[in-house]
Structure 1
Amino acid sequence: MKMATLATYFGLGQQTHRSLDDVRLNLEVVKYCATVLFLESSPRITAEEVEPNTAQRNPFDMGQLSNEMEESYEMSSTESSEMYSVESELSSAVAVSHGRSDSAGFLEPDEVRISSISASFVTFFRGSQRIQLLHGGFILRLSCSRLKVLFGISTKFLDHAGRPRLNFVVNAPQSLCKVLDACDGFAQKLSLDSGSSSEWRPVVRIRKNGFVNYPTVRLHIPYTISGDNPYATEMYQKDSGGEQKLLFSKYDPAELDPLFTPGAFVDAFFSIDPYDYQQNAGIRLVAKKLIIHSN
């Protein structure tokens, strides 16, 4: 549609065909359209949840929709070609704050019994279902110590707003590969049994270094648009003096580059999130907490 048509629809006034006025009007049109798109793609918000009496209000009023837009933007599930799932909030809160090195709620790979892993569908959005991985009836989350960074922060894939989705690649020890391969198997079988025709992408990727094959996994750092920290992942730096929480004032991937250099070691606490989007399916590892070793 033309900008003037959208401006009239949203009640923003008439196009004056003056440069500065048109720029301002275009910005307002984009903001209103973005609000609608974010709400449409939200996996959690429905009109009834936003406000019970939706018929009594203008659904495109920016003041009324600011909170819904923010939540919807944070939870939007549309991604680029690797297609990530949205981090599920179905589990209870896990204690990974205040710089503590405990792993409450997270299992190390050696603590996982393959026979106790299962996959099941859970109701997600408007009756839709998604796969959830369990261990002994509890949501499976993992922790691994001293994972070696092989490839630093990548910004290859973008979200709706053109903001890069952050991830980095680490080596995968055999114990972790064993658990993740089992998760892949359970989730893929359930996906196929449900009738999905999406191509399954294994979470463990085998790379070559000369004549040597070595397994790797990709860890994702989600962002948030609420609160003081722009990243949903808690990050700490560890040295001989202990752990120090890292605080960031803005979303700037360049700030993370010096932290996740190839050869650096990290302790990672992450969730295991199956996804299925646009004929691509697999498992995404979402970092909940990262401890970066200084030496």
Structure 2
Amino acid sequence: MFDVRYLSAASLPSATNLLFVAGLGSAPKPAGLACPFVPVGLDFLQGSGAYEAWITNDTVRYGSAHGFATASTDELLFAGVQIDEGGDLEAASRRAYDALFALLDDSGYPHLLRVWNHFAGITQHVGGMERYRRFTIGRHAAFEARNRAVEAAPAACAVGTEDGPLVIYLLASRNAGTPVENPRQVSAYRYPERYGPKSPTFSRAMLGTTDKVLFISGTASIVGHESQHPNDLIAQANETLANIDQLLLQAGRSESRGPLRLKTYLRDPHYLGLVRPVIDAKLRDGDKVIYVAGEICREELMLEIEGVCLS
């Protein structure tokens, strides 16, 4: 069992059994922090900075392997890495995921549940191709090389930063989760070629086997495979929330569910005051949402929401 909390630097020392901490905005690595720390490089829109702390009830062991900082319990493995692209995002993506899969296989946590991917200029074009598509090609090649079925791909997101290295962090398990798809959408790994030579390799959500936590991928205003409501932030927000509702329904979490921990990425931070009441109105007691600035992987999309539904 675990929880996700959004904390200030002053609150972190009181949190025990930390699996990992992600720093948002200007939040630096706290002095004396024993667990892995991930500097996400996305501006936090509700203050100068914050920490996203993943807290478990289980004993945690810290270490490193294959270039990743790691934290593990009897059931779960966290791993995080920062990689210099070296001018070739496709190759860097392939290297990162090759190392990632080697780590999972060697450590005995072979089943990916959730992956976060962050890199600069996600919609910029290099050599005639969008950088997100180049990243997707490298990731897909690593899946193929390890004979990993795309139908069992983890929940994931890819959100652009202003600058910095390729940052990848993940949760894996000793036991396979259950992929959850959205009947309102084409599965991402079945997208037509208009979205790139290789389809994005992720499931819409992943339900953990042991603790029944639902990991919700980056979700946006997409129906079928096409973006909806261009230039209408409120309509996009409502479409995105409808997609999340459908994932909760498909996972059996519609009526009776645990609390949500959501992260909303906004392409234009100036719209925070406009969209925040729309999203906050959907929350129940115990739910939490934070807002950060992030570049969505399609230029016409204005926001994306990801998170977890706790058991």
TM-score normalised by length of structure 1 = 0.29
TM-score normalised by length of structure 2 = 0.28
